Structure 1
């Protein structure tokens, strides 16, 4: 315990030196017209205020209060020991998304950088473009449409195994079994349920430490996350070596899964990813490919339980798609394209309850935004809630209204659950398919009531229900 205290003190000391150095540099440039705001307390800045709103179920309050107090376009703060400018609204989103490698580049807290070291999140410039293009060659719509019947089969098996015959389930816990199995199938071709369950339990530990203070010492969240990440990557590398042999001996197809695809596909410069790069990127995609969807589906189940008229319209659309299909016939690509109202419902859920709060960038040179000076090295943040709840962009923003996404939809850069620009989530199409496939099957199988109608959702680090969202199931008869 004394050693842990010593390490915490040492970490705070290092942060204080970093903070003081930054303050001295800013004072050497008194003519800078910085965005309005406050740096808060020494060292910790406003980190505690920022983090406190998440478990309270009011993650947007931190940004909204400062937008109202300082400037609705951009304000300064200090988070995690860094000077930070928070960009707000469509104009702020557009600036950050369209200035990649010009004025800004991607940045993540040290815990993320250390846990997923050689993945796309830590690559910038041309290297990032090449890696993303390589991954997207497997994750684009044309490639994924071939996996749609398999997705439907997995969803049906999941519901038969884990939902049918149950009076009550905890949605957040049980849906992870579906989203993680689907990600493992698509990326690794894992078919062994015990392997999936083992990796899933490791991922729970990994996720809780991904945004923790990066003190790698026994007992800390970050240390546990590092051990879990190492164990996951060890499993991936063991599978990688086996697939190499299978590919060389033509026992499996290069398009069987993402891991096989990466082993045989080079980027446009003819370079193949190293084994470490492959395992780190698979780790990243397993994280991004299942946990955000788990969050979204949990929120969808909450809203459908609260809004029976919305549930009925979703059910009507899904039954119309099923009509005319032969018994046991799986979903086709054309079926998913007909799920327009259902996807509008999902979009409205993500507007009101985005699975992530936003993301970060770093200023790679001095620049001016909204008449303010942003110094090189400052960290920058964009927030989903800053625009999603803005009444000037969405009338009556607290109301649930899927019609907002009909026609041309929201104002550009106002709706950003997947980010935007070169750093837009590359798993967006995969997430759309796994969410719609699950909704198609679940609404045809059950109606449900919320056990805790006013249950709070918190970010830790993804949006999740405090009590796991328990629901009472009522089998449908169609």
Structure 2
């Protein structure tokens, strides 16, 4: 054997040894990582930790979660059961499915659990928001915000809300090409939040810029809590700062102007705070404004997109909904084209659309915009024979619960009739079999407004427009950070011909 061959063998042996060392190091690191979380179990409880995997050191299973979407939870639920452990976004998490399990978590707020958004979300939204408040502070803020989400406030918002929707639908119908519905509904719900809820006006160019900036904020709400250049957290913080600066100028201009006869959410909030002898700082107003936009933006756009997609896939449901609108004396007025309009709506008129209400509920059951909610465990408790240890995070799954609740007949099918008076499946299954807006003291304060927005958009579209898919197949749906179509939902809109 010559020196060249000996050298090759030596190099090969060194390479193999290096690879084996790396593999061994990785294996040991993963074992230590798993052990690190095993020792955090509550020693005072005889119950075991839930089954599951903690993934890789530091990152856990975050990358799998981001890339696999809903399949991540489905495969692990099938492997480990309705209660399993994992590690996401820098925290150990126990994921929970099932109405009874969810009931225990949501009704255990302040005793067993407390609200816990991912650290990145808390940092970006800020400390003065309702989402980041706990205890008495949360109760006080919720009481103040309740005035902005009352029926009296909705009646005030509705004419302006319908006008904003009417203008956007007109743009969609006037576009010669296809519309990306998800992008369009995000722009629409952002405009609704800014113009209807905040009562703030801005030129179209600035509104588009702010909408894209806000999208950058929401895209990075659920990111690793690492504050370095080009990180998701830093991008989200930069977007927030831009929005705060613009909103501050808008608020100052608004407070200097005379009242224009329109009460927006800010007016109700400021009046309620004054009645309750609470002062609100400018920083609180800015964070509240961003939170209001957040509450009305991505989730409502997600549900609106799902609604349009499901009506496309189920034309008989669209036709029945359209027939209800026409029979309830809410049919179109005017001619084909921009004057082909739905009469002005009221809450009473919307309440008459019972079947459309079932359609919206079924959309939210099949495609709940948010897949679940996070809580921090304050006191070790039991679920399905496992301990849920103090200090860990627990995430209740809305989507999985809707899919697996035994009360629903053929849960994979889009069937609005399940919410009709003859079947009313959700009511028979108990209040926690249907939780698109969460529940308990942390239930979504804006859930009724979201349904008013979605129902108004549906009524306006059904009465005045026809639409068809621009692609051969419906898009695949992604679930992070909210349910939305991968690569958009591309649709052609046209005015209806009577």
Quote the Cα distance in structure 1 between the aligned partners of 2:399 and 2:67. Answer: 16
Task: Tell me which residue corresponds to 1:49.
Answer: 64
Q: Does 1:216 align with 2:223?
A: no
Change (3 A) 1:322 1:179: farther
- The 8 Å contact of residues 205 and 225 in structure 1, kept in 2 or not, is answered as yes
Change (3 A) 1:109 1:435: same
Q: 1:392 aligns with which of 406, 417, 420?
A: 406
CA offsets, 1:124-167, max 9 Å, x none?
Answer: 11110110111111112232122212211221122223433534
Change (3 A) 1:24 1:157: same
Change (3 A) 1:220 1:37: closer
CA offsets, 1:216-273, max 9 Å, x none?
Answer: 3232232221111111111122222233334xxxx11696212233334327752222
Task: Tell me which residue corresponds to 1:243.
Answer: 254
Structure 1 position 100, deviation (Å)? 0.7
- The 8 Å contact of residues 191 and 207 in structure 2, kept in 1 or not, is answered as yes
Q: 1:184 aligns with which of 171, 178, 194?
A: 194
CA offsets, 1:58-91, max 9 Å, x none?
Answer: x1x333333333333x222222232222121101
TM-score, structure 1 normalization: 0.88
Structure 1 position 200, deviation (Å)? 0.6
Q: 1:294 aligns with which of 301, 325, 334?
A: 301
Q: 1:123 aligns with which of 125, 130, 133?
A: 133
TM-score, structure 2 normalization: 0.84
Structure number with bigger Rg: 2
Task: Tell me which residue corresponds to 1:103.
Answer: 112
- The 8 Å contact of residues 254 and 260 in structure 1, kept in 2 or not, is answered as no
- The 8 Å contact of residues 475 and 488 in structure 2, kept in 1 or not, is answered as no
Quote the Cα distance in structure 2 between the aligned partners of 1:383 and 1:169. Answer: 32
Task: Tell me which residue corresponds to 1:314.
Answer: 321
- The 8 Å contact of residues 371 and 398 in structure 2, kept in 1 or not, is answered as yes
Structure 1 residue runs without a partner (length 5+): 1-15
SS of 1:417 mapped into structure 2: coil
Q: 1:430 aligns with which of 449, 465, 473?
A: 449
SS of 1:266 mapped into structure 2: helix
Task: Tell me which residue corresponds to 2:352.
Answer: 338
Q: Please report the RMSD computed on the Cα atoms of aligned residues, expressed in angstroms.
A: 2.6
CA offsets, 1:450-473, max 9 Å, x none?
Answer: 123231121341222122211123
Q: How does 1:97-176 map to 2 (within 5 A)?
A: 97-117=106-126, 118-176=128-186
Structure 2 residue runs without a partner (length 5+): 1-30, 335-340
SS of 1:361 mapped into structure 2: strand
